[in-house]
Amino acid sequence: MGNLVAIVGRPNVGKSTLFNRLTKTRQAIVNEQAGTTRDRQYGKSEWLGKEFSVVDTGGWVVNSEDIFEEEIRKQVVLAIDEADVVLFVVDVTNGVTDLDMQVASILRRAKTPVIVVANKTDNNDLQYNAAEFYSLGLGDPYCISALSGSGTGDLLDLIVSKFKKESDEILDEDIPRFAVVGRPNAGKSSIVNAFIGEERNIVTEIAGTTRDSIYTRYDKFGFDFYLVDTAGIRKKNKVSEDLEYYSVVRSIRSIENSDVCILMLDATRGIEGQDLNIFSLIQRNQKGLVVVVNKWDLVEEKTAKVMKNYEEAIRNRFAPFTDFPIIFASALTKQRIFKVLEAAKEVYQARTTRIPTARLNEELLPMIEAYPPPSNKGKYIKIKYITQLPNTQVPSFVFFANLPQYVKEPYKRFLENQIRERWKLSGTPINIFIRQK
């Protein structure tokens, strides 16, 4: 089970800088003005051999006084519900504010471990100021400077020490794991119930360590797989559903623990920013994808043309990754429900496809010779040999070339499309590497 660390705190205390420091990226837009972090804040971090995800809840706040505190309160509640460790960031140069006190009062009631991070402690004099954060009633404040990085090593040690010891879950490694994801009201619970049915006997719950039940084993009608995080889906969520980023944070765990994600879209709503956020989480974690357009029974005109237009619209929004199954279904009438499972199973098989080296070279080399990479600065690029890497999460291919640095993205995409046309890899991401021969 992946551990999840959430960063909370009022604006401008340096949450994004800390996020960047933990995930070693500069992906947050950091800027002096309040409330500028608009990027979906999600990244991975590793310390002492433990990998975990980091979510910065900041930057989703509507900046007006009255709504403002309410928004922060929602973020904090969400962080407590979803994360294994909460980092509460405060600013030494400002001391304790009313808003800090309000956040602290919610956190004190939480069962989740909380670490008070006193940020902007750039010199020793400021360390003495950190003492006033004891008044928050959340234990020792940890002095760091997210900007210069001082103190972050100790902080990481502490974070990792707070993770629960994992009891090993009894999962059969060779059985696919499917996650149903999508924004609120797209019909996740209905489709899970349609799969599972109320016939409890075919379903074995496997207790997860972090939440009620993470995996549900399903074997019936020739299918055998785990559904990930069905408990969270089946009981209606506690936090008000209207939160912009709520469903994204909810999805992180399920996506990380699955092989194939079944992304539910609502036929009556079209594709929204929310769907794209969840899609990009699936992409960043290199998971298989099946798109289900749910509530198809509610669409007035169900002609082939309407379907085709819908399908094109989806592929355009999700480009450049366009090779995935799209199924028009209805969880309510159970129309094409098994088609969804079949597609997920096929995508899982595509993820584990091995293409013999001889076949790769036979099929692709003549094509590459006919359409070589464009020459660069008068140098001709030759690709001599192709092979698939063993034991990778998704099919990954190495093309050996004399001048790998000159092979650019568009050509890599061309190679990917050639592979997809020849072998059934629908729904799975593919990695293309160009290496020196």
Q: Which residues contribute to the annotated binding site for GTP?
A: 9-16, 56-60, 119-122, 182-189, 229-233, 294-297
Distance (Å, whole) CA 85 – CA 116:
11
Residue 96 CA neighbour count, 13 Å, CB half: 17
Helices (H), 243-291: 246-256, 273-284
Distance (Å, whole) CA 150 – CA 417:
46
Distance (Å, whole) CA 421 – CA 151:
51
Residues in the chain: 437
Distance (Å, whole) CA 248 – CA 238:
15
**Residue 44, H or E segment:** strand 42-47
**Residue 43, H or E segment:** strand 42-47
Quote the strand ranges of 300-373, DSSP E.
326-328
Expressed in percent and rounded to 5, the helix, strand and coil fractions of the chain are 40, 20, 40
Q: What is the separation of C-alpha 154 from the centre of its chain, rounded to a whole number of angstroms?
A: 27
Which positions ≥6 away from 258 have C-beta within 8 Å? 177, 178, 179, 228, 287
Distance (Å, whole) CA 385 – CA 382:
9
Residue with tokens 């594709």: 271
Helices (H), 24-175: 65-82, 98-108, 124-129, 152-162
Distance (Å, whole) CA 140 – CA 118:
10
Distance (Å, whole) CA 425 – CA 417:
10
20 by DSSP, 3-state: which?
helix
Q: Taking CA 420 as the corner, what is the angle to CA 416 and CA 426, rounded to the nearest 5 degrees?
A: 120
Cα dihedral 275/195/347/431 (nearest 10): 40
**Residue 361, H or E segment:** helix 357-370
Distance (Å, whole) CA 156 – CA 161:
8
Question: Which residues belong to the annotated binding site?
Answer: 9-16, 56-60, 119-122, 182-189, 229-233, 294-297
